[in-house]
Structure 1
Amino acid sequence: MILTKTGVEKIRAELGNIPLFDSSLKTLKEEVDAEIALGIDTPIPKDYSGGYTHVRHKKNWIVLQKAGVLYQILDDEKYAKYVKDMLMQYEELYKTLPLHPKTKSYARGKLFWQCLNDANWLVYVSQAYDCIYDYLTKKERKKLEKNLFRPFADHISVESPQFYQRVHNHSTWGNAAVGMIGLVMDDQALIDRAMYGIKGVNLDKTAKDDDGGFLNKDGRAGFLANIEAPFSPDGYYNEGPYYQRYAMYPFLVFATALNNVRPETKIFEYKDGVLLKSINALLNLTDANGNFYPLNDGQKGMSLYNNALVTAVNISYHYGSQDKGLLSIAKEQGRVLLDDSGVAVAIDLRDGKEQPFDKKSINLSDGANGQQGGVGILRNDELELVFKYTSQGSSHGHYDKLSFSLYDELGEVLQDYGLARFVNIEQKGGGNYLKENKTWAKQTVAHNTLVQNETSHFLGKYEIGSQHHSELYFFDNQNDSLQIISAKEKNAYPGTEMHRTMALIKDADFEKPLVLDILKIISEKENQYDLPFYYFGQLITTNFEFTTPKTLKTLGEKNGYQHLWLEAEGKANEGNTQFSWLNNRRFYTITAATNPSDEIHLVRIGANDPEFNLRRDAGFMLRRKNAQNTTFVATMEAHGSYSPVSESAVNASSNIASLKVVLDAEDYTAITISGKSGGNRLFIIANTNASKEARHQLKINGKEYTWVGPYHYNQIK
């Protein structure tokens, strides 16, 4: 399926002459040889994620796949025998197993506490079986297929429709597992079940998965449905990059198997080649250090060095456009797959064909037709601004319309919290999602976006949020000095419209590109508006006075506010409020246009968290009470540095002298930014006409301004 006969011949002919492939093979051989020396262990299942039996069976599926590959490449019978012996041990075990004793999952497996991990096992083990298929006798194959593989495939599909029969990353693993073992066994019924789902299955409309997301009710399921619905035409996966990375392995290995065994499916051309296109999108959803942006449920630190991304890069290069930029990523990853795609990458790296993978500003649409919002990434001079205006993102979505996060080459500057989970750490909730994921991480106040009346977007309810998405107003990345994105959200709070515009402006008067943030709110009634900014590091200075309480109290009682300690509070200034901090030896400043009635809250995550499941991160929050139609305007700048060796601070103060809203009307909002080193800048956005061809004429403080397009920016006297 994955290793073809032609591919094996090519690999054997090139061995010893392809450095990255050779080193990858050496590492893998050492790993498998060590496991063979330890002996085979297939324990009775009893643990959640992180427990011994879970980890052992997970290790087994990995080693089985690798041992099968070694048998094909090295033609050493000891690897085939090892795979055979372990499979026979699993055959003896599996036919005796009831459902897993842990009952927390909505769909229990047999080897593992959830069907998802059973599907993981079968995706890998089907490859091992394929590699030693001709080594086994017909009688041995019949025994394995009758007592292990077919019952295994049936359990995760027809016996677990609530797991299998929907559109979700879980189901993708299930589809791939059933389809791949079907390809090895040449079982058309299993292949059809994988591609199109189970026929005639009706799910309980109230059924929910572990994360509270409703299951698929429209009857569409199977591998093709899981390609059609979650991926936008740009290749963005609606659950977010963390789960896209997780789902890419089954998507791509099953697609490769179909391409090799059933080429008539033309699977890599399906939906305009979106599977291969999605890899480029996924790579663009990483920061300067290769870490994925933690949009929706995403664990921080997951990066392009993950094995799934090695698979993605190799397969994309070999079966896709042979983009030479992918070779530079493969080189960074330091290893390749031991198959047809891996040898192709290794040969071209050896031959010096690599080019840099250039990540630029990009806008990725969301939704099957690309019409359900999206994610915009503005990049300039090692600064990266991530702007989220997506659909809900399935059950893994967070309630954070028009939120943003900011990065530089040192890491996070203004953060998205990510998920509340310690993946595969048994001591923390069995390695599963913690209750704080719902009470904090998914709530709107956990993100850098607007909160109205201390209530989350869509009331924090999936069934409401899944019906709506934000709308792109415009995106412009054509000017190297000014890149901009703007979007509107009309449904998060009924009767309130939010319109947020964020720009990355490169200006010689500023050390790094300047971020401009304009959040315009129009509402049918007066509300309280909170706008938090979550940062890392140490507060350095403010230009407002604040008081610190002797006894800590929470900022609120629900919707995430119960998890925020109020560490200090004060009143904003007339004109501008500034807040500066130091992190990673660099200074940062937020400057906000404020009035004296605005409140400032300095907060810290961690209240009502008796098991210390949450990080103790800090935030700076602007609060505006009794406001109906209003506009928040702020800038963010990175500047200077501090050396603990020389004990010197360089450019430690903001370079902004003033930030003013000089016009705020229904049709236009105008901002002036004045630098301490001189120079004034005027930014105008047309709030009701985003046409690139529209001509505008506007008088501000007695001066006429004319321009074409949705915004105007220039230096003014």
Structure 2
Amino acid sequence: MKKFSIQLIALFFISFIAISCNKTTENANDDVENEGSHPKLILTKQGVDNIRKNLGNVPIFDKTLADTKAEVDAEIELGILVPIPKDLSGGYTHERHKKNFIIIQKAGVLFQILNDEKYANYVKDMLFAYAKLYPTLPVHPQTRSYARGKIFWQCLNDSNWLVYSAQAYDCVYDWLSKEERETLEKDLFIPFAKFISEGNPQFFNRVHNHSTWGNVAVGMIALVMDNDELLDNALNGLKTDNLNTGMRDNDGGFIKVEGLRLGFFGNLDEPFSPDGYYNEGPYYQRYAMYPFLIFAEALHNVKPELKIFEYKDGVLLKGVDALLNLSDADGDFFPLNDGQKGMSYYTAALVSAVDIAYKFGGENPELLSIAKKQDRVVLDDTGLAIAIGIKEGLEKPFTKKSVNLSDGKKGDEGGVGILRSDNLELVYKYASHGSSHGHYDKLSFSLHEKGNEVLQDYGLARFVNIEQKGGGNYLKENQTWAKQTIAHNTITVNEESHFEGKFEIGTKHHSDLYFYDDKNPNIQILSAAEVNAYPGTEMLRTLALIKDEDFERPFTIDLFKIKSDSKKQYDLPYYYLGHIMKTNFEFETYDQLNPLGKKNGYQHLWKEASGKPATDNTVFSWKNKDLFYTLTTASNANDELILARIGANDPEYNLRKEPSFIIRRKNTQNTTFASVIESHGSYSSVSELALNAYSSITNLKIVLDTEAYTAVEIITKKNTTKIFIISNKDNSTDKNHIIKIGNKEYNWKGSYYYK
């Protein structure tokens, strides 16, 4: 009965809105000649008219509107709260000012759609409270940032405020008097825009997601005020001594990059590849997509001559598609570089991205299925288009397939590949460094199944917006652990991180694609090379996701070939999640734990146990959730097998205490690591029954390893033999190969062979 009453109230509310707004539209149309030019950024006059005409008939839009109204009404009841800034992220003043800019943007939208002056008055009162406060503010008292804001501890968050507040101002612009507008612009908006740009060129004149927010903030308010000078600064950067010089964050310093275009266009040119991949990684691509796309929509509406959605061959719209493909089965973004796990396409930034991409990208019906899962839309023209499409049943499933996304401005700086087969997703990173948010982990990978991590990438060391943990900001362990090479599933040489763990070296280099092939639905494969991470050492890693009838589910072949100019120590970790089931080697556990090393991330790993291979095959099995996994690797007699756990030298418990299995090969010059990772079987906690809990492999062997070719033989429990061969020197798809292994001859065309 209660549920039925709520539904009746909701239906009444939507019907009331529709009737009221239709009347408002009729009245507005009678007096259209007396109206001004606003709103014009995100909402437009025609768009508002279309929204009002459709209210009550577009369920997902109506639901979003009702939810937004309830949220804003609750804030209006609290009154205007504009405290003196003092806190880092997560603290009261930070969160209060953050809430303010989000709510006034929504209130402005409600005023336009519902024509209720309650919302315009709230926006006006809030803006005037800031206009009174802002001239009195020094820079923020917290000194952690390289560019301190006034309302927030960093200019980045001040820019967030202005991006949203500009939209609110646009919605009430014509409703305000000329004198009121002049006061707001003189005391608040112009000083605000100049502070985050001219007052902080080290923040504004860069290529970085921070600068994107700054450029867009200045650009959005410039469009509202028709201020050409501010708009030019936003689009092209400041005309200062730093002209044509970009500054990239270098963990406390900056590196100048000569000839780099600045401003909004520069931030479109440099970080995005032609495929829409953003070099900082999906976590920050998600964060940057909101300002990128919201400003693009505003430019489309106000400056259509710029043809912004066609810029760089439509890179912004490609960016949305790339981001969606960089998510797992549950919609969570893969945590490449600095990335917090759990961030997904359900975030508000991706709601707007999906809506904008649908409206301005040809109304791809696959995007409707994502929007339907998000279960809310933006309250503007783009959200209405989505709502109508869903209502008319036009959606099609967004099908994620294997994809190889290039990195770099020209697409020639490596990339990220996602291999997909059934429920398995393998993410292979062979990209550029990724600006200040990059990690030192060339040729690393992670493995996912059904939305769960099997072999993980650690992500970042940060508790975002949780005040108790460093004010919600990056912890020192992000540098000492998360960015270091040993924290990732890739080779570390001599316990030194790639590029010495130095930004100024790593940012100059990238890995290179050797070959990628997804044409065969049963074999998804990617191979990449790295020759700069360690001078004198060349690395070639090939990862293949193979579907074979002799295996229950697709399995992964991991072939890591190393050529060096001298003998070295190689550590190859696998950061598995779950509980060890069984190994085929004996290991010694330690009563007293010691760190695995002293620096470069090793100081954060407890050495819990170690052993030696029992045979020429090492088998390591574990259970994660309700599935079993087995890593089978071809062993050398002198390998050391290490069971480690994150958490050493972590007195404040800033790191997750997760396990790792490390294969260590000492005093070796040239070598190849060959492994197979299987997903198999299942366990039910209800029936307490384990099915197919053991590996399907009886033997894994490297049967050929020369400069030209590497071949791995797999023998299954069904007594079948599989052979996988890669051409190490010729990646041509047209090259014919003939080689003899033992008494058998193999011939094929292309860069690899599997049968």
**TM class, shorter-length:** over 0.9
Once the two structures are superposed, the pairs formed by residues 520-599 of structure 1 within 5 Å of their partners are 520-599=561-640
1:535 deviation in Å?
1.1
CA distance in 1, matches of 2:244, 2:386: 47
CA distance in 2, matches of 1:213, 1:465: 15
The equivalent of 1:54 in structure 2 is 94
| Kept after mapping to 1: 8 A contact 2:163/2:220 | yes
| Kept after mapping to 1: 8 A contact 2:640/2:665 | yes
The equivalent of 1:631 in structure 2 is 672
| Kept after mapping to 1: 8 A contact 2:281/2:338 | yes
Q: Check if 1:36 corresponds to 2:76.
A: yes
The equivalent of 1:335 in structure 2 is 376
SS of alignment partner, residue 552 of structure 1 = strand
Once the two structures are superposed, the pairs formed by residues 143-542 of structure 1 within 5 Å of their partners are 143-202=183-242, 209=249, 211-212=251-252, 214-218=254-258, 220-542=261-583
- Relative distance call for 1:428 and 1:210 in structure 2 (3 A) is farther
| Kept after mapping to 2: 8 A contact 1:44/1:53 | yes
Match of 1:15 among 55, 66, 71: 55
Identify unmatched segments of 5+ residues in structure 2. 1-40
CA distance in 1, matches of 2:244, 2:198: 15
Match of 2:120 among 80, 105, 110: 80
SS of alignment partner, residue 76 of structure 2 = helix
| Kept after mapping to 2: 8 A contact 1:106/1:209 | no
Report the AA paired with residue 493 of structure 2: Q
SS of alignment partner, residue 95 of structure 1 = helix
Per-residue CA shift, 1:141-166, capped at 9, x if unaligned? 00000010000000000010000001
CA distance in 2, matches of 1:292, 1:157: 31
Q: For the aligned residues, what is the CA RMSD?
A: 1.2
CA distance in 1, matches of 2:140, 2:313: 41
1:573 deviation in Å?
3.0
SS of alignment partner, residue 188 of structure 2 = helix
| Kept after mapping to 1: 8 A contact 2:246/2:257 | no
Match of 2:682 among 611, 622, 641: 641
SS of alignment partner, residue 479 of structure 1 = coil
| Kept after mapping to 2: 8 A contact 1:587/1:639 | yes
CA distance in 2, matches of 1:695, 1:663: 18
1:206 deviation in Å?
12
The equivalent of 2:35 in structure 1 is none
| Kept after mapping to 2: 8 A contact 1:573/1:595 | no
Per-residue CA shift, 1:453-485, capped at 9, x if unaligned? 000000000000000000000000000111100
1:704 deviation in Å?
1.4
CA distance in 1, matches of 2:640, 2:160: 50
1:640 deviation in Å?
0.7
Percent of paired sites with the same residue? 65
1:202 deviation in Å?
2.7
SS of alignment partner, residue 518 of structure 2 = strand
How many residue pairs align between the two structures? 714
CA distance in 2, matches of 1:341, 1:204: 35
Identify unmatched segments of 5+ residues in structure 1. none
1:595 deviation in Å?
1.9
Report the AA paired with residue 65 of structure 1: Q
Q: TM-score, normalised by structure 1?
A: 0.99
SS of alignment partner, residue 549 of structure 1 = strand
1:220 deviation in Å?
2.3
CA distance in 2, matches of 1:336, 1:104: 36
Q: Check if 1:125 corresponds to 2:165.
A: yes
| Kept after mapping to 1: 8 A contact 2:586/2:614 | no
CA distance in 2, matches of 1:551, 1:394: 40
Per-residue CA shift, 1:622-665, capped at 9, x if unaligned? 00011100000000011111112221111111111111100000
Match of 1:657 among 695, 698, 723: 698
Per-residue CA shift, 1:68-100, capped at 9, x if unaligned? 000000000100000001100000000100100
1:677 deviation in Å?
1.9
| Kept after mapping to 2: 8 A contact 1:420/1:437 | yes
| Kept after mapping to 2: 8 A contact 1:670/1:685 | yes
Match of 1:689 among 709, 730, 737: 730
Match of 1:138 among 178, 183, 206: 178
| Kept after mapping to 1: 8 A contact 2:206/2:246 | no
The equivalent of 2:644 in structure 1 is 603
CA distance in 1, matches of 2:256, 2:46: 41
CA distance in 2, matches of 1:34, 1:710: 63
CA distance in 1, matches of 2:380, 2:693: 53
| Kept after mapping to 1: 8 A contact 2:275/2:322 | yes
Report the AA paired with residue 370 of structure 1: G
SS of alignment partner, residue 518 of structure 1 = strand
CA distance in 1, matches of 2:243, 2:188: 27
| Kept after mapping to 1: 8 A contact 2:462/2:474 | yes
- Relative distance call for 1:50 and 1:511 in structure 2 (3 A) is same
SS of alignment partner, residue 519 of structure 2 = strand
CA distance in 2, matches of 1:206, 1:221: 7
The equivalent of 1:70 in structure 2 is 110
| Kept after mapping to 2: 8 A contact 1:105/1:210 | no
| Kept after mapping to 2: 8 A contact 1:166/1:215 | no
CA distance in 2, matches of 1:216, 1:183: 30
| Kept after mapping to 2: 8 A contact 1:443/1:460 | yes
CA distance in 2, matches of 1:690, 1:600: 33
Report the AA paired with residue 49 of structure 2: E
The equivalent of 1:672 in structure 2 is 713
Q: Check if 1:713 corresponds to 2:754.
A: yes
Q: Check if 1:701 corresponds to 2:715.
A: no
The equivalent of 1:3 in structure 2 is 43
CA distance in 2, matches of 1:472, 1:212: 32
CA distance in 2, matches of 1:208, 1:264: 31
Report the AA paired with residue 491 of structure 2: L
1:410 deviation in Å?
4.5
Report the AA paired with residue 687 of structure 2: S
1:211 deviation in Å?
3.4
CA distance in 1, matches of 2:470, 2:192: 27
Q: TM-score, normalised by structure 2?
A: 0.94
CA distance in 1, matches of 2:253, 2:438: 9
1:204 deviation in Å?
13
The equivalent of 2:64 in structure 1 is 24
CA distance in 2, matches of 1:69, 1:290: 28
| Kept after mapping to 2: 8 A contact 1:498/1:519 | yes
- Relative distance call for 1:12 and 1:122 in structure 2 (3 A) is same
- Relative distance call for 1:217 and 1:669 in structure 2 (3 A) is closer
